[in-house]
Amino acid sequence: MRFSEIPYERPDQQELLQQIQRLEQQARSTDSADALLTILKEVDQLQRHIRTLQALVHIRFTQDVRSEFWKNEKIFWEQLLPELAEKQRQLLAALVEHPQRPVVEQQVGERLFQGYEISLQTFDPSIKPLLLQIVALERRYTELTGSLLITFRGNQYTMSQIQPFLQDPDRETRKAAAEALWNALGNLAAELDTIYDQLVKLRHQKARKLGFDNYIQLRYLEMFRTDYTPEDVAQLRKVIRETVVPIVQQLRQEQQQWLNLDHLRIYDEALLFPSGNPQPKGDPEWILQQAKTMYTQLSDETARLMTHLVEDEFLDVLSRPGKASGGYCAYLPDYRSPFIFANFNGTIDDVRVLTHEFGHAFQQDQSSTQPFLAYMSPTLETAEIHSMGMEFLTYPWMDLFFGDEVEKFYTQHLFAAVSFLCYAAAVDEFQHRIYEQPEMSPQQRLAVWQEMEKQYLPWRDNTGIPALEQGRFWQRQLHIYRAPFYYIDYALAQLCAFQIWLQSRRSYAETFQKYQRLCQLGGRLSFVQTLQTVGLSSPFDSQVVQQTVTEVVALLRTLTEQVIPSASTVA
């Protein structure tokens, strides 16, 4: 079935609630282990169907945030989910308290019931009104940024479509594009401030109602971070601040010299090469054809999956007005299929995002045989290893997309990957600071972001861009609004993906087998346990961070000397 042919019908709310209640009654009325196992499987099937309908609505809403029909369906689900969660809470309590749980747990694994227990700790009927307000604010942010049109030199562009101009070799063009982008976002400043202020306070209220000191404690539990703490993450940020930031600051100084600039402004950061950054050699359709060639050669499994995604239309990569910004990979369990969403814009990011989201899709495909949906879904930092790892595992085929500029691609990709660690740490500490002091005013939050830029991005010069001088860069980061604390996950995964790349340089076939095993594990294990199982070192080890980044930067410097004539004299 093609994606466009998938039917959607709003479910009957009472029928869903009755199904959950019936399963609860069955669980409480039997003392049989076999019966409990059967109930677990029925619960899983219901969860798969609900997840499919949710994913379908989310995809179609983000394809056009202006659609009243899909907006109304999204609102329907936003209002229904707290009701389902209340009924499900009673069901999960019956499963967790079942006398045959120890017997069944030996068959299905303890992580399934551990997840149920966390769900019980992170929901109570008293927070339902707060949840409704939170999801409405998150949706409003999506609508605002997805419908934003930026006027630049007589034309209008989405946030994705403006990106090529921010990398233009002509500095005046870069500056003018940055001014246009941030003027447009600056016009939304008051509403963006209000949305975030309300989100922070509502999330804090939710945490307090559930018995937590603050939202940080609740959110770590919601994200199933069972084997590391905020203190572990703070230590990782410290290592990045002390080890990686100085390295990137030196790279930025060298970039300034490569570009022959007196000062590196924020609108210069995206340009690495005086002659222009590498670009894919064809349009979106051509890129997808090259990707089919690449994944056909990589493995039988990747070939099958890519063919399905393209031929059955389970991807949407074209930028257009009304389409939500960003990229993601959703999963529709009833159809056992991923769906890739992206916004191609003619830059290196077209290929990076495609390979990144394909990594998520490959994991979903490879773990689709797991007996429970919960075991298909890894924690977020593990999931990002799949995506970032795929970016590096496709290196041998990048000449298909970039031709004689392939060395420039490697250089830019590695430069961005190392630099990203600093930004990810800045975003994470920003959020910790905000939720530690939820009573902060919007202006105080802007000051915190300015402090983060000084600590983690000390090279950044926002001169001439009023919104950025005020400390508003973070407001274009949708994760901060819609997925709090989902950003250090990228740093953790990036450090693991670097390891995958370095291992693949020594033995590609063996590394891909380990990567495939990683994907097949899905969510069966915790983050640290997963790393141990597939032979990756923990990024919470400061020596691992230092050694990994040092090796990657040494290879990056070798590349820069090849593709930037002046690089060897700079270093």
pTM value is 0.95
Q: Which residue is listed with tokens 């769906």?
A: 339
Nearest to 149 by CA among 175, 174, 180, 170: 180
Cα separation values, 68 from 5, 287, 320, 414, Å: 20, 32, 17, 42
Contact 366, 316 (CB under 8 A): no
Q: Is the pLDDT of residue 184 over 70?
A: yes
pLDDT in tens, 451-483: 999 999 999 999 999 999 999 999 999 999 999
571: confidence class by pLDDT, cuts 50, 70, 90: very low
- Averaged pLDDT score across all residues of the chain: 96
Q: Per DSSP, which regions of 315-408 are E strands?
A: 315-318, 328-332, 337-344
CA separation for the pair 244, 326 (Å, rounded)? 26
Give the pair of three-digit tokens for residue 166: 């921010």
Contacts made by residues 122-126, CB under 8 angstroms, sequence distance 24+:
122/210, 122/218, 122/221, 122/222, 123/85, 123/86, 123/89, 123/210, 124/89, 124/209, 124/210, 125/86, 125/89, 126/209
Using the predicted structure, report yes or no on whether residue 268 has a pLDDT greater than 70.
yes
Give how far Cα 125 sits from Cα of 45, 83, 88, Å.
Answer: 24, 8, 11
User: Per-residue b/e over 53-63, b at no fewer than 16 CB within 10 Å?
Assistant: bbbbbbbbbbb
- For residues 239-265, give the mean pLDDT: 97
Q: Measure the CA–CA gap between 116 and 114, rounded to whole angstroms.
A: 5
pLDDT of residue 568: 47
**In this model, does residue 94 exceed pLDDT 70?**
yes
Q: What angle do the packed helices 508-521 and 349-366 form, to 10 degrees?
A: 60
**Whether residue 128 has pLDDT greater than 50:** yes
Tokens of 14: 């009472």
H-type alpha helices, 97-170: 101-108, 110-121, 128-147, 163-166
Query: How is residue 481 written in tokens?
Result: 């609004």
- Specify whether the CB–CB gap between 91 and 43 falls below 8 A: yes
pLDDT at 436: 98
E-assigned strands of 319-455? 328-332, 337-344
How many C-beta neighbours within 10 Å does residue 557 have?
18
Query: Can you give the pLDDT at residue 48?
Result: 97
pLDDT band at 567 (very low <50, low <70, confident <90, very high): low
pLDDT one-digit tens code per residue, 281-310:
999 999 999 999 999 999 999 999 999 999
Q: Does the structure show a pLDDT above 80 at 81?
A: yes
List the strands of the sheet with 328-332, edge to edge. Answer: 315-318, 337-344, 328-332
Contact between 544 and 413 under an 8 Å Cβ cutoff? The reply is: no
Q: What are the pLDDT digits (tens) for 191-232? A: 999 999 999 999 999 999 999 999 999 999 999 999 999 999
Q: What is the pLDDT of residue 476?
A: 95
Provide the pLDDT for residue 569: 46
Q: Which long-range contacts (CB under 8 A, 24 or more apart) does 29-37 make?
A: 31/99, 31/100, 32/100, 33/100, 33/103, 33/104, 36/95, 36/98, 36/100, 36/101, 36/104, 37/104, 37/107, 37/108
Query: How much of the chain exceeds pLDDT 90, in percent?
Result: 97
3-state secondary structure 168-234: CCCHHHHHHHHHHHHHHHHCCHHHHHHHHHHHHHHHHHHHHHCCCCCHHHHHHHHCCCCCCCHHHHH
The answer to whether 487 touches 424, Cβ cutoff 8 Å, is yes
Contact 561, 568 (CB under 8 A): yes
pLDDT on residue 570:
41
CA dist., res. 497 & res. 513, Å (int): 15
* φ and ψ of 360, to 5 deg: -60, -45
Mean pLDDT on 45-50: 97
Q: What share of the chain is helix, strand, coil (3-state, %, to 5)?
A: 70, 5, 25
Query: What is the per-residue pLDDT for 564?
Result: 85
Is residue 566 scored above 70 in pLDDT? no
At residue 362, φ and ψ (nearest 5 deg) are -65, -40
